[in-house]
């Protein structure tokens, strides 16, 4: 089965640095936008395609269609690399607020779409305790039953917790 791990977090929660550590590319200052990153965890192929969030790239507060298209591009690149094989794809998802509302639709609807297409979806919340909108993000992550990793800028620990979560899938 193909699995999608959505690494959700506020801006500056450490999603990029956690993933750079996870994929051992922290020595690279800036990665190409659609660069395929690959590692193996417990015999499972694990990918990321770029380290940017589909929500941030959409340039809108919450354009679900653009987010879905950006996710599809990432899957296509993974499928080319592993045709007819199971893999785990990690996608960073940025949480943000506009006019007092979280970008909830751009989190929930892609999850529903992925699940309806037969993917196992595992939301992970990189929780930044100092976030201005912590109450909104906590409520949203609780709604989607995300596993929480506390963000403390300890990227080695955060990457290891993510690796352990993937190992247990």
Is 5 within a domain? Answer: no
Is 14 within a domain? Answer: no
Is 120 within a domain? Answer: yes
Residues near 116 by Cβ (< 8 Å), separated by ≥ 6? none
Domain tally, the chain: 1
Q: Per-residue pLDDT averaged across 135-151, rounded?
A: 97
Q: Which residue range is the domain that position 31 belongs to?
A: 19-129+139-167
Is 64 within a domain? Answer: yes
Q: Per-residue pLDDT averaged across 64-93, rounded?
A: 93
β-partners of residue 40 are: 45
Local confidence band at 21 (pLDDT 50, 70, 90 cut-offs): very high
Give the whole-angstrom CA distance, residue 136 versus residue 141: 9
Query: Is residue 51 predicted with pLDDT exceeding 60?
Result: yes
Give 3 or 57, the one with higher predicted confidence: 3
Is 134 within a domain? Answer: no
pLDDT at 31: 84
Is 86 within a domain? Answer: yes
Instruction: Say what the pTM is.
Output: 0.95
Q: How many CB atoms are closer than 10 A to CB 144?
A: 16
pLDDT at 27: 86
Is 94 within a domain? Answer: yes
Give the whole-angstrom CA distance, residue 146 versus residue 125: 6
Is 4 within a domain? Answer: no
Residue 64: name the closest of 96, 106, 97, 101 by CA.
Answer: 106
């Amino acid at each position: 089965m193909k699995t999608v791990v959505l690494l959700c977090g506020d801006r500056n929660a450490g999603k990029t640095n956690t993933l750079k550590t996870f994929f051992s590319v922290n020595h690279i200052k800036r990665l190409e936008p659609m660069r395929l990153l690959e590692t193996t965890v417990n015999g499972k192929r694990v990918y990321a395609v770029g380290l940017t969030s589909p929500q941030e790239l959409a340039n809108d507060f919450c354009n679900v269609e653009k987010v879905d298209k950006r996710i599809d591009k990432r899957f296509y690149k993974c499928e080319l690399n592993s045709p007819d094989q199971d893999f785990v794809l990690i996608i960073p998802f940025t949480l943000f607020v506009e006019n007092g509302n979280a970008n909830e639709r751009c989190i929930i609807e892609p999850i529903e779409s992925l699940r309806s297409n037969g993917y196992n979806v595992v939301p992970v919340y990189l929780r930044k305790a100092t976030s201005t909108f912590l109450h909104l993000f906590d409520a949203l992550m609780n709604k989607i039953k995300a596993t929480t990793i506390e963000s403390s800028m300890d990227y080695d620990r955060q990457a290891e917790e993510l690796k352990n979560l993937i190992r247990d899938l």
